[in-house]
């Protein structure tokens, strides 16, 4: 692995757990996307007992909370049940996949519902658990059709164009595909969840190469949940099963591993300023403990007890300024890094 500690550098953390039904903070966030105006949008997926709190919150990089929209526990326009991923198209319209409602809902920057597309099924234009979504330079949408084990391509109005893939572990096959990334040449990268790999295709679904599996035995990818590509062509994969992010170059060589370096966000500092007893309890806690052997055997055990580390890294995003975002569902926060321009 190339030793280049400056390839990706930690910048800041935004987030705090919000057990309420509105306001700043997150409740099991799953995905993040940044609009052209720089505002950051995050899906709060919540848990099944608090579906009414499902929403999308948006704020800026300085952590000024701007607003939120959507609601959970219903199938009406603008509602969600199990939202998975969000992505902006070139018209600044936010697209949200919902694996329970088997559809994509579209909103403007303020959160106004515009339209939706998709129905349950296995035919053209139908989904069974849509998950990841990403756009190419021509505003074509690529959607991971999770339980149909395929990828579908649509135009900007939600009209079906083509599809590829079937269930399996051979080249070009999938087993519950999850996240999707697109590079500047409009190649498509698929986080092939149960096959523990990422596959790269051209814009029409022709296989190009693979990351993980046989070519990465020392640091294997386990249950990849997200993938993005920076302007240099480096590929960032959320290695969910190992509680980390792995970064590969264009040839598929591993160049850096991120385990997480979270610091307190402004939201958390405001909370502790108002609750000094909570701050005292935090100061007296060991948030980076030296773990006994029986709790030091897996990345899950280590990360779950070491606060700065990733715990449940799911969605990834790189914005136009080169900031790299990692959504942590289990710690209700987003860690942000700077990438080489």
User: Average pLDDT in the 67-72 region?
Assistant: 93
Q: How confident is the model at residue 214 (pLDDT cuts 50, 70, 90)?
A: low
Residue 1 has a pLDDT of: 52
Q: What angle do CA 29, 33, 39 make, to 5 degrees?
A: 105
* pLDDT range class, residue 19, cuts 50, 70, 90: confident
Pairing mode, if any, of strands 29-34 and 40-44? antiparallel
Nearest Cα to Cα of residue 225 among 252, 200, 186, 190: 190
Evaluate if residue 56 carries a pLDDT over 60: yes
Instruction: Kindly state the tokens that stand for 282.
Output: 């935090």
Helix (H, G, I), strand (E, B) or coil at 269: helix
Are the C-beta atoms of residues 218 and 255 closer than 8 Å to each other? no
- pLDDT higher at 49 or 246: 246
341 pLDDT above the threshold of 60: no
Can you give the length of the chain in residues? Answer: 341
Burial of residue 274 (CB within 10 Å: 0-12, 13-18, 19+) is exposed
d(CA 151, CA 124): 11
pLDDT of residue 5: 54
Q: Which two tokens stand for residue 336?
A: 């942000």
Residue 215 has pLDDT above 90, yes or no: no
Cα gap 245→257, rounded to integer Å: 6
**276-283 and 266-274 helices, crossing angle to 10°:** 110
Burial 238-251 (b: 16+ CB within 10 A, else e): bbbbbbbbbbbeee
- Going by C-alpha positions, the residue among 93, 85, 84 that lies closest to residue 35 is 93
Residue 216 has pLDDT above 80, yes or no: no
Q: pLDDT exceeding 70 applies to what percent of the chain?
A: 96
> Is 90 exceeded by the pLDDT of residue 271?
yes
Q: Quick one: average pLDDT of 308-330?
A: 96
Q: pLDDT value at position 228?
A: 98
Residues 325, 181: Cα–Cα separation, whole Å = 14
Q: Does pLDDT of 255 surpass 70?
A: yes
Q: What is the pLDDT of residue 213?
A: 63
How far is the CA of 113 from the CAs of 33, 159, 211, 303, 340, in angstroms? Answer: 17, 18, 37, 38, 36
Report the alpha-carbon distance of residue 302 to residue 291 in Å, rounded. Answer: 8
pLDDT(36) > 90: yes
CA dihedral 159, 139, 224, 328 (to 10 degrees): -110
Structure tokens at 31: 């995905």
Mean pLDDT is lowest, of 200-204, 211-215, 233-237, for 211-215
What is the pLDDT averaged over residues 81-102?
A: 97
* Contact of 162 with 149, CB cutoff 8 Å: no
Pair of tokens at residue 313 = 């890294």
Digit-coded pLDDT (tens) for 106-148: 999 999 999 999 999 999 999 999 999 999 999 999 999 999 9
Q: Let me know: does 142 contact 150? Beta carbons within 8 Å.
A: no
Structure tokens given for 167? 């269930």
pLDDT tens, residue by residue, 181-198: 999 999 999 999 999 999
Name the β-bridge partners of 246: 237, 257
Mean pLDDT in residue range 144-168: 97
Three-class DSSP category at 274: helix
Q: Is 73 exposed, middle or buried (0-12, 13-18, 19+ CB in 10 A)?
A: middle
Structure tokens at 271: 């909370």
Q: What is the mean pLDDT of the chain?
A: 94
**For residue 240, pLDDT beyond 90:** yes
Is 280's pLDDT higher than 80?
A: yes
**Residue-level pLDDT at 7:** 81
CA distance 113 to 78: 6
Q: How many CB atoms sit inside 10 A of residue 171's CB?
A: 9
């Amino acid at each position: 692995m190339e030793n280049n500690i400056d390839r990706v550098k930690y910048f800041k953390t935004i987030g705090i757990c919000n057990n309420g039904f509105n306001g700043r903070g997150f409740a099991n966030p799953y995905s993040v996307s940044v609009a052209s105006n720089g505002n950051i949008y995050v899906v709060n997926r919540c848990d099944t007992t608090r579906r009414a709190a499902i929403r999308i919150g948006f704020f800026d990089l300085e952590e000024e909370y701007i607003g939120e929209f959507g609601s959970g526990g219903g199938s009406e326009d603008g509602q969600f049940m199990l939202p998975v991923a969000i992505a902006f198209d070139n018209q600044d319209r936010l697209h949200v996949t919902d694996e329970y409602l088997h559809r994509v809902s579209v909103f403007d920057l303020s959160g106004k519902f515009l339209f939706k597309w998709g129905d349950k099924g296995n035919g053209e234009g139908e989904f069974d658990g849509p998950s990841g979504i990403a756009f190419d330079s021509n505003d074509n949408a690529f959607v991971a059709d999770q339980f149909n084990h395929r990828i579908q391509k649509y135009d900007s109005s939600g009209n079906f164009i083509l599809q590829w893939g079937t269930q399996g572990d051979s080249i070009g096959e999938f087993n519950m595909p999850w996240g999707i990334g697109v590079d500047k040449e409009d190649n498509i990268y698929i986080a092939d969840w149960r096959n523990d790999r990422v596959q790269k295709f051209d814009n029409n679904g022709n296989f190009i190469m693979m990351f993980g599996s046989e070519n990465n035995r020392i640091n294997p990818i386990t249950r990849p949940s997200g993938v993005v590509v920076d302007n240099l062509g480096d590929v960032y994969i959320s290695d969910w099963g190992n509680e980390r992010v792995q970064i590969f170059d264009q040839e598929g060589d591993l160049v850096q591993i991120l385990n997480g370096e979270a610091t307190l966000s402004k939201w958390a500092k405001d909370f502790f300023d108002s609750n000094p007893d909570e701050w005292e309890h935090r100061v007296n806690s060991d948030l980076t403990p030296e773990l006994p052997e029986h709790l030091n055997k897996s990345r899950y055990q280590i990360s779950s007890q070491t606060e700065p580390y990733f715990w449940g890294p799911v969605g990834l995003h790189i914005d136009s300024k080169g900031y790299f975002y990692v959504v942590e569902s289990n710690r209700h926060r987003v860690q942000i890094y700077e990438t080489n321009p």
